[in-house]
Chains A and B, each alone.
Chain A
Amino acid sequence: MNRISLPGVLARIILALALIFVAAPLVFMITASLMPASDIVKMPYRWIPKHLHVENFVHAVAGNDGSFIFIRNIFNSLVVASVVSITTVLISSLTGYSLSKFSYRGRDLVFLMIMATMMIPFEAIMIPLYMVITKMGLQNSYQGLILPFLVNAFGVFMMRQYLITFPNEFIDAARVDGMSEFAIYRQVILPNTGPAIATLAILAFRSQWDNLLWPLLIAQTEKMKTIPLYIVKFTAEMHTDEGAMMAVALIASVPMFILFFALSNYFVSGAAVYSSRKG
């Protein structure tokens, strides 16, 4: 089977070219973050930095005005993304548990209504949401950044599907042992939904780490801005210091890459779960 065939060679060439296309901008980001600006926009681009220009990172973190606001912005992104992934997991699992293991009047209607919200794109309701948050006096606050993303329909759907197959015997046994209904959720259901929770938490964390539009509406002071807003501002102001730009980009990407290398299976299962979503 080891003979070299023309289609086999062609396939490898296509895969290799695609690999270069995909990887080159990432390598560019990393190498450029270590070069002085004069080396970055140079023909031809030198892929290996001559010497490490770490000043880029100092500039990236200190910012244009030396205020070090980037650190605060990173902290903000961490807070928002972490809180959102925790609440998404908790509320989705609680709701999914209710919708899969209890029977009460209106249950299926509730499920249908929650599923219907999947069809409402965030971009179409951001203006009224902005008015709601403003009316609550929560613009420019963590609560304002977080509230609209506490839970999402996809999370509820995923947890419900996951829990439908959860054996009722475990729940009944816990009831016989005299556990309260909430204790059953906390001690029987939650610990047994690990993979689903991990997938969901990563999806939620990423979507907030990536969120530009909503913080653009809500965060009005530099102090409340998140990483994507900082990048936009830094890029718009610092068009000439390309090295520092890439340093900012790299710093913003590091947490996601750590998560990705540690938990790549859950990243992929997020994509796969999403694709198995059927009417």
Chain B
Amino acid sequence: MSRHHASSPLKRHQDRWGMIFVLPAILFFSLFSFYPIINALFTSLFRKKVLSLKPPTFIGLENYHYLLTSADFWNSIRATIVFTLGTFIPLLVASLILAVLITQMRRGQKFLQMAYYSPAVLSSVVAAAIWLLIFDPRGLANQWVNFVMNTPGVDHKWFADATMVQMATMLVYFWKYVGYFVIIFISGIASIPPTLYEAARIDGSSSWQSFWRITLPLLRPTVVLVSIMSMLQCLKTFSTQYLFTQSGAPQGPINVITMNIYNTGIRDQRIGRASAMSIILFAIMLFFTWLQFSTSKSDEVSY
């Protein structure tokens, strides 16, 4: 900031340009972020259908009341929570382990990072399409599982069974994002000063001890960040579930909130009810975002 200019007319002329430069963004965010979320909040209090000629009727909190007593909505909450927990915990653990192991390697670090990251380059729909074939009764998933568990010829019913189809969606997501989080963890590990490890080694600590006493505690901010980031992503999951159900997987077990919003609002055209769902999703994510900000603030470490 060029504060040394004092507030001359020239300076004011310049700053007017600064205000002009920010106008497009103000216009954009007002129209495409703030208006829609306020509109969703407002619409969630009405009974409204898209094509209906009747004006929307104000019904207060009835949409919320309906949702909170609807088995279908609770099923979506359950599906979303199961998916989120079942995905982000393995993601967190696996990517942390892989990142630590990679940083121990003397050669091939770059190659491994890039290789692990490569599924993240694919679009979610492509990832889901590949795994759709892998989960075929005669596909690779059965072949591998049967090989590892020595159970030749067993069909594990990846799509027919309610538990397995949930596992299938988690596996797709895990596969796609594990490398992404490996890279984030590696950049976190890289920021730990190597002198700490040297000091520990001189004091005679093993690399196992170094991991528990140095890496893990100092990586806490990254762990928190990765968990919240992956959690927020998982809560919004849509593509895999959508492609799977479109290709014949049962909808019930994997009917996550976003899919329910889409089906309620667009297919059934119940805009009011879909808006109420959107607001509930927003509230859940707001809570986790708040958690991310508050923890990352208290976690600023200096070495």
User: Which A residues contact B (CB, under 8 angstroms)?
Assistant: 7-8, 11, 14-15, 18-19, 21-26, 28-29, 32, 40-45, 91, 94-95, 97-99, 101-104, 107, 110, 113-114, 117-132, 147-148, 150-151, 153, 156, 168, 171-172, 175, 181-182, 185, 206, 209-210, 212-213, 216-217, 227-228, 231-232, 235-236, 239, 242, 245-246, 248-249, 252-253, 256-257, 260, 264, 267-268, 271-272, 274-275, 278-279
Contact = CB atoms under 8 A, between A and B. Distances in A.
B19 interface: yes
B23 to A, nearest CB: 9
Interface string B235-257: 11011001100111000000001
A21 B247 CA distance: 24
Given A101-B2, A103-B1, A206-B123, 6 more contacts: A150-B28, A181-B21, A212-B238, A242-B133, A246-B130, A256-B121
A268 B239 contact: no
A171 B17 CA distance: 13
B14 A107 contact: no
B285 A22 contact: no
A139 B29 CA distance: 20
Contacts of A175: 14
3 shortest interchain CB distances as A-B pairs: A102-B18, A181-B17, A125-B36
A131 B296 CA distance: 36
B113 A11 contact: no
B97 interface: yes
A126 B122 CA distance: 24
Contacts, number: 296
Contacts of A119: 285-286, 289
Contacts of A271: 117, 180, 183-184, 187
A260 B133 CA distance: 25
B34 interface: yes
Nearest to B43: A128
B126 interface: yes
Contacts of B98: 14-15, 18
A43 B139 CA distance: 7
B110 to A, nearest CB: 9
Given A22-B179, A113-B29, A114-B25, A128 B39 contact: yes
Q: Counting chain A CB atoms within 10 Å of each CB, which of B94, B122, B134 scores highest?
A: B122
A26 B119 contact: yes
A216 to B, nearest CB: 7
